[in-house]
Amino acid sequence: MSGAAVRALRVTRVVDGASGDVDDRVAVEEPLEVRVNNSPFAVIMRTPGEDVPLAAGFLLAEDVVHAADEIAAIEQCDDVEDDARGNVLNVTVTGEAAIRVEARLGERRQIITTAACGLCGRRTIESIRSRVSTVGGQWTVPAAVVSRLPDALREAQDAFALTGGIHASALCDLDGRVRLAAEDVGRHNALDKIVGRALLEGLVPLDRTLLVVSGRSSYELVQKALLAGVPLVAGVSAPSSLAVELARATGITLCGFVRGTSMNVYTHPERITR
């Protein structure tokens, strides 16, 4: 990542009751305004860098665009205050995407509470499945390959090594080699960045890839994987109940607590072999 992702500062460090000033680094967090066809659509709190693929991946996950040919241009906006310069993008969409964005603008921005409302959760899953009912990926992968994914992700986390405070996602091939990786203060943003790059390169659906994410696997991360066509999601921590339900309903192999030689396989274990 570029130097814009990390900021140096002085902090007071306390160890065993003794304190002193030391140099430290923190991950940068700034707002990115995304406009679609010149209309405000969303403000994303993100780590600067890879803003164009972030916007593309975000709009795929928001069901505005379905393919790269629906994106005519993604450009920085110049009609902004000086302090917002570089933090405002306009995405020009065409065809059916121009129709979909009008519907989405009318819905902005609903909050899904996944921990309390099972009925809402089931309705949410059905609404997603109405567009993408299941993933592809009629292949198997050795458990040893899945076990190595967190280490491969960690090797791609330059900003995490400096700050200890940033998430990451990576798309790997079926041998576990990292093909695309990104870091961000937001877990969802890191995934949108790599999916957006794949979308702009014409690689979606990603039906021959493995996704590894830092932290837990939420419903929204599994949803983004589904819309990108990713058949296997591995997280270093736990999934949520709604993430498990969505993965089970759509054919995604969902793995959690992938650490060392152990993991929990919550759905579709048939893709993983010894």
Residue range 69-96, pLDDT digits in tens: 999 999 999 887 766 778 999 999 999 9
Q: How confident is the model at residue 183 (pLDDT cuts 50, 70, 90)?
A: very high
- Write down the pLDDT at residue 34: 95
The reported pTM is 0.87
The CA distance from 43 to 45, in Å, is 7
Q: Which of 77, 117, 120, 172 is catalytic?
A: 117
3-7, 102-106, 244-248, range with greatest mean pLDDT: 244-248
The CA distance from 225 to 220, in Å, is 9
What are the residues whose beta carbons fall under 8 Å from the beta carbon of 196, sequence distance 6 or more?
50, 52, 53, 54, 55, 56, 57, 58, 60
- Write down the pLDDT at residue 79: 81
Of residues 203 and 124, more confidence is placed in 203
Of residues 78 and 159, more confidence is placed in 78
Q: How confident is the model at residue 55 (pLDDT cuts 50, 70, 90)?
A: very high
Is 120 tagged catalytic? no
What are the residues whose beta carbons fall under 8 Å from the beta carbon of 121, sequence distance 6 or more?
112, 114, 219, 241, 242, 245
- Write down the pLDDT at residue 98: 95
The whole-number average pLDDT for the span 53-61 is: 96
Residue 116 pLDDT greater than 50, yes or no: no
In the 8-state DSSP scheme, what is residue 84?
G
CATH topology assigned to domain 30-114: Ubiquitin-like (UB roll) (3.10.20)
Every domain of the chain and the residues it spans = 30-114, 141-273
Largest CA distance in the chain: 64
Which homologous superfamily does the CATH classification assign to the domain defined by 141-273? Cytidine Deaminase, domain 2 (3.40.140.10)
Residue type, 130: S
The whole-number average pLDDT for the span 105-111 is: 57
- Write down the pLDDT at residue 119: 39
Structure tokens, 185: 């203060």
Mean pLDDT of the chain: 88
26-35, 73-82, 126-135, 224-233, range with greatest mean pLDDT: 224-233
- CA-based nearest residue to 178, from 158, 205, 148: 148
- Cβ proximity of 143 and 273 under 8 Å: yes
